[in-house]
Structure 1
């Protein structure tokens, strides 16, 4: 039996291989929305969303430290995580682009705190920006969920560089 090292070993792969291996994990697709100080809305596509805690209700997502939008989320008190439905791949692509107003033509309603909730999303979570943790080349955001809702619609999934669907509508668990 060999002794385990106490410090991490250097990776035995390059970043391209690591990225390909990560792409084999299917993820849901979200658009994170917020409001800027000048009142304009901002949103971005993220697949790094996950549940964290039921009590208190916490979720997490991450954003690259190199993202130009990082200061917008670091300083805001609230954001909404919109879980996209299977027929919203075009929205995922739109909010991933570098365009001036990503909300042009996008149907949304305002949350309790005045943030965009994308119409047709299969679920949404309105969050207080509870904490942020710089880690590696990303910042991990922990959101305390204040409000959420769900619609029985199939969810959009991203796997191996392609969009697909869960193929079945979401719903409640009894």
Structure 2
């Protein structure tokens, strides 16, 4: 029998049976250009104070710009935004080419058509194996109650059944 430590592919496969929403974490780099990354590891943490968290991989080339900026926007992607997710999931290039957005409370991109957005200030960053745990203090937020979220399950995308 293989242990979890000796078989990371099995670990990933089994944990992939937990459905999650998909979010785009957006900010601005030092030159003011939009940066972003797709994550399925996003969660609410606390009501008082209002805190959320996301878990970027340490190999991310986008996260250092987000961390240096000090603020970010969580864009909860809607069911029709799989192309947005795919655009922000790649490394390098202009991830925002063809994406419509407006500046959020800190100037961070709020993507058009999202289910919800949450403007945050980086509170703390914790080391967590091959990832970081980023806690964000929620400064402002809004949602579209008529929208359905994009879901991620077993390495594929889905949506809620009506």
Indicate the TM-score class for this superposition, using the shorter chain for normalisation: over 0.9
SS of the residue corresponding to residue 73 of structure 1 reads helix
**Selected match of 1:14 from 7, 18, 25:** 7
Q: 5+ residue gaps in structure 2?
A: none
Is 1:150 paired with 2:148? no
Q: Which has the larger radius of gyration?
A: 1
**Selected match of 1:79 from 72, 76, 100:** 72
Q: How many residues align?
A: 159
- Check whether the contact 2:45–2:52 (CA below 8 A) recurs between aligned residues: yes
Is 1:116 paired with 2:87? no
CA apart distance, 1:73: 2.4
d(CA) in 2 for partners of 1:44 and 1:70? 8
d(CA) in 2 for partners of 1:149 and 1:85? 14
Deviations 1:7-54 (A, max 9, x none): xxx746510100001110000001000001111110110000001001
CA apart distance, 1:99: 3.9
- TM-score, structure 1 normalization: 0.87
State the partner residue of 2:160.
166
d(CA) in 2 for partners of 1:19 and 1:46? 15
CA apart distance, 1:167: 3.3
**Selected match of 1:60 from 36, 42, 53:** 53
SS of the residue corresponding to residue 149 of structure 2 reads strand
Distance 1:63 1:12, change over 3 A: closer
Distance 1:40 1:12, change over 3 A: closer
Deviations 1:107-143 (A, max 9, x none): 1111121111001100010000111001111110000
Q: 5+ residue gaps in structure 1?
A: 1-9, 169-174
- Check whether the contact 1:155–1:167 (CA below 8 A) recurs between aligned residues: no
Is 1:36 paired with 2:26? no
Q: 4+ residue stretches of structure 1 with deviation over 2 A?
A: 10-13
